[in-house]
Structure 1
């Protein structure tokens, strides 16, 4: 493909993406395909002869697109938002076009330094303590990881190394390998699966501690777990606090967990993958009270900040904890010794090479501005509140727990079996997508405002789809009769009470 063909193919691709988003409301959210559909359609072997881009593009639209879930449909309400925006897409295109691999500063100075700049911008917008920023006088700083999952395992490994070095300093004769076996990590039983997986990958037992009735991990629970494990000869090493749990978007109180970790020299990592983006709005920053106790803090910019996957923003209070854990030197990686503070990001992550991810973050921050991003988040929260109001107006439903951020959890008052059946029926029709969770041992349905295109009318369309399907399971007239009966009973009881008082 030469540059002229590239221009033609690129223009067609841009037109496709623009049309795709312009018409994203029109199609089913879920594709009408069965497992293995693409395996049957595509040939078993790669083509021997080159094909022209027109043929390839036709194959893309006819075979690939029909099997794609519409993550950015206004009726996609599953999991959490996955960010996208035209500025981010352009940033990704330009990053791919430049084609740099940021092994070291010299490998692409702009790749490293734009990451420093944008991570400082973002950290300040969140209101993080200055010690987490690259521009501080200390060793802290921010780095872009691939995902919150990656950030959690990176910090677990750094915590493991830091605790080993600390114990070795106290007792140079300890057996490092036997000591590491005793390390233990902690998190809430409401954590994301990736947190538990970090323990598996990092060879560290991860205790899932029971959250309170509101889904929060409390300080006294953590302190008790520390005491229990220390009595068994184990060594508390790593704690993951959740600011916005996956199931119900509950917020662990950092101001309780932090002092417990600090007293035992245990690394406190904050997983704020989704909800942390809301901290760019000052009215939500009380939810991260106690963040000064954290050793690391992560937010997925690719969830709620209109940046395409992958772009997970991780800040650490002491970058030397990462460097000490991951520094492996080779002569071909020797770099220019700068007088200014320039991080060598290959020591801040698992992989050696890195893409120019800061470019799409920079594009979004520049084109939307802080106010544009705040408006986006506030709007989605207001849409979630509107949906909750619609649900509460129907006696057949219970909203529980209280809505948080852009998430509303609800269930049918008739019980778990019908709630589960409702979700199954809705997914089968493919017009709306939601996923389940558990709250107080009850089956609940989660509806998240995910798409940047969602408006009030779209929310009401989603509610109508849910309501219409519920009508088939629990006719509304029965609820009306039931409500009248309850009202009549209450009326009779009130008359009886009044008669007695006379």
Structure 2
């Protein structure tokens, strides 16, 4: 940029801020209005964007209108449209007008509540919001600030897992000595998210000390207390130290639910840290009919769930609650002199979130979750969750009524797992058949689904949870599945 233009640069001019922000909002309004016109999953080749964009940024700044036009021409066609009502893949990544408004306020105010003195109201709002959420999902009083526990808003479950593993590790090593880290063992099921294995490596647990415990169809692929007990007994007999047990409410692949109370009793028996991962299904726990899935939570040390998945809160936002904040902060705290600001240090109620996370910086995530709760209310959020569950229930019913299909695992929330049966038993390769079916569904551009493999079965996953999804979209998806099933079965 030339010196004259540089001298005139006003990056946060109030009038320009309003005009350019309105241009972005108008662009997004058109995007959401027309989102069904785009293929949910793009027909894009690796590296295609590099052929469309220059090798260097512009020397002189360009107008927002010019930039947004390039977004429309070059970026939008290469996106997977996660907010499309026909997006049924992975797990949902919700957005909403309230979530967007909260994100705008958070981004616009741009404060960093990493400690109370850095932004008192933002820090305290986070404490209020996590207590609200704890009560809504049915956590016992011990997870609330008022009950001696507390919560923090992380960016993802991955961060929450690393932090709780570090707290569990340090708690154990404070008695055993640091050299005992090679004896610590972490336990999870073959349905648990891979982030637990990654997190264990990050905090220094040897990969050979991570136990992946098999699950069976008989328990709907939930982890059983007996299988954990046997694995722990064998490790103790070998001189190892049980450290951490993950229990999941709504696994990634199948939506399986582990028995929290039974596993909690095993964890207590052996002095293990018990973590409850409810990243996706935690949102459903606000509905009374799902509360039993977290029975026994008082036996846990930590719980996490992601409002950005199924709670209308734009990325990224993960609630982590712990019973003992002191264990978390002792593993993660640092106190350089430049952070010893005057103000609030002596008050017992002050929370410094820099000591509850990996990074020092801490975004104002509480603002967007607060806006979602205020704007839609508990009744509105319960109706939202139930609507998706009812749609998934309908889709499952259609599958069960069609003899061509098999529901692999009974639906619990809004995830349906299914596969297509071969026309002639024993003659067709079922995995190849279902791979072809999934490719045909996604290749149509009319829907996007993903797969999972369990007991050597290739399973198609259909998750209802996008903010804009209505019953007609689920009905269209069912028609698409039927049509593509007929096509692939007719192909030699």
- State the TM-score, normalized to the length of structure 1: 0.90
> How many Å apart are 1:88 and its aligned residue?
0.7
Q: Distance in 2 between matches of 1:122 and 1:69?
A: 30
How is 1:33-112 mapped onto 2 (pairs within 5 angstroms)?
A: 33-112=44-123
Number of matched residues? Answer: 466
RMSD across aligned positions (CA): 1.4
Q: Distance in 1 between matches of 2:382 and 2:483?
A: 34
After superposition, give the CA deviation of every residue in 1:384-406 in whole Å (9 maximum; x if it has no partner): 00111122222110112111201
- Please name the residue that 1:144 is paired with: 153
After superposition, give the CA deviation of every residue in 1:32-55 in whole Å (9 maximum; x if it has no partner): 221101112111122221112221
- Maintained 8 Å contact 2:115/2:351: no
SS in 1 for 2:452: strand
Q: Distance in 2 between matches of 1:263 and 1:444?
A: 37
> How many Å apart are 1:30 and its aligned residue?
1.1
Tell me, which stretches of 5 or more residues in structure 1 are unaligned?
168-173, 477-502
After superposition, give the CA deviation of every residue in 1:401-439 in whole Å (9 maximum; x if it has no partner): 111201000001212221121112222222211111123
Q: Distance in 1 between matches of 2:233 and 2:262?
A: 16
- Please name the residue that 2:479 is paired with: 464
SS in 2 for 1:154: helix
Q: Distance in 2 between matches of 1:10 and 1:54?
A: 11
> How many Å apart are 1:197 and its aligned residue?
1.3
> How many Å apart are 1:375 and its aligned residue?
0.4
How is 1:82-481 mapped onto 2 (pairs within 5 angstroms)?
A: 82-136=93-147, 138=148, 140-167=149-176, 174=177, 176=178, 178-204=179-205, 205-213=209-217, 214-335=220-341, 336-339=344-347, 341-414=349-422, 415-474=430-489
Match of 1:24 among 35, 39, 44: 35
Runs of 4 or more consecutive aligned structure 1 residues displaced over 6 Å after TM superposition: none
> How many Å apart are 1:340 and its aligned residue?
5.2
Query: Which deviates the most, 227-236 or 277-286?
Result: 227-236
- Please name the residue that 1:487 is paired with: none
SS in 1 for 2:151: strand
Q: Distance in 1 between matches of 2:68 and 2:36?
A: 23
Q: Distance in 2 between matches of 1:386 and 1:23?
A: 27
Q: Distance in 1 between matches of 2:489 and 2:185?
A: 48
Tell me, which stretches of 5 or more residues in structure 2 are unaligned?
1-10, 423-429
> How many Å apart are 1:338 and its aligned residue?
4.9
- State the TM-score, normalized to the length of structure 2: 0.92
After superposition, give the CA deviation of every residue in 1:307-338 in whole Å (9 maximum; x if it has no partner): 01110000000000111111211121124225
SS in 2 for 1:244: coil
Q: Distance in 1 between matches of 2:420 and 2:270?
A: 45
Q: Distance in 2 between matches of 1:246 and 1:338?
A: 43
SS in 1 for 2:86: coil
- Maintained 8 Å contact 2:157/2:279: yes
- Maintained 8 Å contact 1:209/1:221: yes
After superposition, give the CA deviation of every residue in 1:203-262 in whole Å (9 maximum; x if it has no partner): 213211111321111111111111111122211111111111111101000111111111
- Maintained 8 Å contact 1:212/1:218: no
Structure 1 residues 16 and 54: alpha-carbon distance in aligned structure 2, compared to 1, 3 A threshold: closer
- Maintained 8 Å contact 1:436/1:445: yes
Q: Distance in 1 between matches of 2:229 and 2:203?
A: 23
